[in-house]
Amino acid sequence: GQSLEQPSEVTAVEGAIVQINCTYQTSGFYGLSWYQQHDGGAPTFLSYNALDGLEETGRFSSFLSRSDSYGYLLLQELQMKDSASYFCAAHNDYKLSFGAGTTVTVRA
């Protein structure tokens, strides 16, 4: 089956940097995505890694190591609006399998 592990919650202050780790065990893996979801809303796409290395998109960066079955999302210069749930999702067998989500709380 598919299994993705990520921390349940993280709290940080405005301006800080937060790293959310994700380890996965999945068959047919071909990439890792990250999604943000605010309460009551739909998931919105943040980043995608198919190859090892770092992908940078503004304040958010994502990293993947296929040999370690590991990835992370880096949130820099945290803002209050970044308070949300963040999900890693494995692309496999032409569908997405989601981790349990990490709730990020940003404090002033």
Partner 1 sequence: GAVVSQHPSRVICKSGTSVKIECRSLDFQATTMFWYRQFPKKSLMLMATSNEGSKATYEQGVEKDKFLINHASLTLSTLTVTSAHPEDSSFYICSARVLDREVYGYTFGSGTRLTVV
Taking the chain, what is the end-to-end CA distance rounded to the nearest angstrom? 40
Which one of 45, 52, 59, 79 is in contact with partner 1 (CB under 8 A)? 45
Q: Per rule CB under 8 A, is residue 98 in the interface with partner 1?
A: yes
Part of the chain binding partner 1 (CB under 8 A), chosen from 14-22, 43-51, 53-61, 73-81: 43-51
Q: Per rule CB under 8 A, is residue 29 in the interface with partner 1?
A: no
Q: Per rule CB under 8 A, is residue 43 in the interface with partner 1?
A: yes
Are residues 6 and 90 in contact, defined by beta-carbon separation less than 8 angstroms?
no
Q: Name the minimum Å distance from CB 15 to partner 1.
A: 26
Where do runs of H (alpha helix) occur along the chain? none
Q: Name the minimum Å distance from CB 46 to partner 1.
A: 12
Q: How far is CA 81 from CA 6, 31, 47, 78, in A?
A: 21, 27, 18, 8
What distance in Å separates the CA atoms of residue 17 and residue 80, rounded to the nearest whole number?
13
The site that binds partner 1 (CB under 8 A) totals a number of residues, namely: 22
Q: How far is CA 8 from CA 45, 54, 93, in A?
A: 19, 23, 26
- Residues near partner 1 (CB under 8 A) are 31, 33, 40-45, 48, 50, 85, 87, 91, 94-101, 103
